[in-house]
Amino acid sequence: MSFAEAADDTHEAIMGATYSALCEHGYARLTMQDIADEFDKSRSLLHYHYDTKEELLVTFLDRAIGWRRERLAESDAEAPLARLEEFVDRFVIEPGEESRETFALAITELRVQAAHNDQFREKLSARYEENVETIAEIVVDCVSAGVFRQVDPYETAHVMYTSLVGARTVQVTFGVERATYRMREGIARWVDRDLLTADHEVGEYQGGNFSKQ
């Protein structure tokens, strides 16, 4: 293994440990020791690369940007509406998914910190734009395929993404169970009422795809 490959492996291990620690502890209670406890190498190696929790999290946010686009690229779904369903489904947090709730809460805490932290704001803003761009590209494909009527892809994407983020924030901060699930149903109704062409329809969300093929 080359030095570069070893360095990449170490950074990937640190990012994985950071993710696990955030899921376990959230942002407010997270310490470098928590991350070190999830890291399968020495704590001194962790501190060699990062002096503070904030410095590490800036890198983590940078690595996290675009993960939904990458996951969709790995998907078997080819039809644009199916890809949109898959994107939306990833925001649904079912009761009992504690690690996903904790991680989503940690990201929400980072958004609050972004109001006063320029580096967090830069990374999270890029993450927002990346996800909006991903939805907009899918909407363009839906229009080209004759599934959606002519709509503004970026306006549609902004409305959809901010709605999903808002529902997830309400669920993890206020404990409103199934808020993301209900938002999923609401998006299905919106798609059915305002976006689909006359030849297509969607059904009520019941834990699977909302399209009727």
CATH superfamily of 3-62: Homeodomain-like (1.10.10.60)
Walk along the chain (213 residues) and give the pLDDT tens digit of each residue. Answer: 443 344 468 888 999 999 999 989 989 899 999 999 999 877 888 888 899 999 999 999 888 765 556 666 566 667 899 999 999 999 999 988 998 999 999 999 999 999 999 999 999 999 999 999 999 999 999 999 999 999 999 999 999 999 999 999 999 999 999 999 999 999 999 999 999 998 876 654 444 455 544
Please provide the DSSP assignment of 58-110 as one string: HHHHHHHTTHHHHHHHT-S--SHHHHHHHHHHTT---TT-HHHHHHHHHHHHH
Residue 134 contacts residue 53 (beta carbons within 8 Å)? no
- In total, the chain counts a number of residues equal to 213
Domain parsing of the chain, residue ranges: 3-62, 66-195
The answer to whether 3-62 and 66-195 have equal CATH topology is no
The tokens describing 116, both together, are 């006063």
CATH superfamily of 66-195: Tetracycline Repressor, domain 2 (1.10.357.10)
